[in-house]
Amino acid sequence: MQEILDHSINSVNIIPTTILIFCILYWIIVMLGFIDIDSLDIDADFDADIDVDVDADVDVDGPDSGSIGWLNQVLVFFNISHVPLMIFLSFFALSTWFASMATNYYLNNQNFLLSLVFLVPILLGSLFVAKFATIPFVKLFRHLSSGEISIESYIGKICRVILVAKEGIKGQAEIKIEGGSYLINTKTQPGVTISKGENGLIIDYDEQDKSYLIEPYYE
């Protein structure tokens, strides 16, 4: 046990150890009830300015949502938009720490600069470890967020676009049903663009890519 502790605080492992300690301290604070589990969640939507609220939600706006819409795709791919950020980060930190400890130990590395070289592929690999580790949580939080509301219940409802939806790029929209507010992935027909802040009508659901087909809605 002492050997593991000594190896953890060695300079070659100090970065992964620091990230892991941060996650551990976060969960301790959550269990003590001082903050909520989703207090560090990321909510990214893009249009014209940058707003950061007290919960560390990020609202990034730019002149062309499509030009940076790839960020939303990255968040979706790694499940960060579907589960609390700290659940993903915890699996990421644990995987990074374990891989760093093992790599530097078995290669007998004591050089900090060399450990940074090793850390690059470790970080990339840990992203995918965290992605697959959080898959069960995606289903859990999707169920918790939707409650008893079925997919069919969304069809025909009006939603407010918070991330531009256009051909070839998934968007996101907010829909309010039975007093609850839900975030859904959206897409549009070819040639149709629905900008942030506009209303959309949900007309169908695509089971293959888990998104709702919407069209412009004008009152």
Kindly report the CA angle at 201 between 199 and 206, in degrees rounded to 5?
A: 125
d(CA 29, CA 90): 14
Q: Shortest CA distance to 87 belongs to which of 140, 34, 158, 48? A: 140
d(CA 120, CA 116): 7
Who contacts 73 (Cβ-Cβ below 8 Å, separation ≥6)? Answer: 169, 170
**How confident is the model over 58-108, as pLDDT tens digits?**
444 444 444 445 666 777 778 787 788 888 999 999 999 999 999 999 999
d(CA 156, CA 153): 8
DSSP calls for 112-126: HHHHHHHHHHHHHHH
Task: Place 109 in a pLDDT band, splitting at 50, 70 and 90.
Answer: very high
Report which residue type is found at 205: Y
pTM given for the model: 0.57
At 39 the pLDDT is 62
- 179 and 121 Cβ atoms separated by less than 8 Å: no
- Both tokens of 149, joined, read 């509301």
Look at 155-159, 162-166, 199-203, 210-214 and tell me which has the smallest mean pLDDT: 162-166
**How confident is the model over 123-149, as pLDDT tens digits?**
999 999 999 998 888 877 766 555 545
User: Domains in the chain, start-ordered, CATH in brackets?
Assistant: 2-42+80-141 (no CATH), 149-216 (2.40.50.140)
Q: Is the C-alpha dihedral spanning 157, 158, 161, 165 positive or negative? A: positive
Q: SS3 letters for 180-210?
A: EEEEEEEECCCCCCECCCCEEEEEEEECCCC
Percent of residues, the chain, with pLDDT higher than 90: 28
- Both tokens of 203, joined, read 């007309």
- Distance between first and last Cα of the chain: 66
Report which residue type is found at 135: I
**How confident is the model over 152-196, as pLDDT tens digits?**
677 888 988 888 877 777 788 888 876 667 788 888 888 888 888
Site of tokens 């003590």: 32
- Number of neighbouring beta carbons within 10 Å of residue 43: 19
Bridge-based pairing of strands 58-60 and 199-206 is: unpaired
At 45 the pLDDT is 43
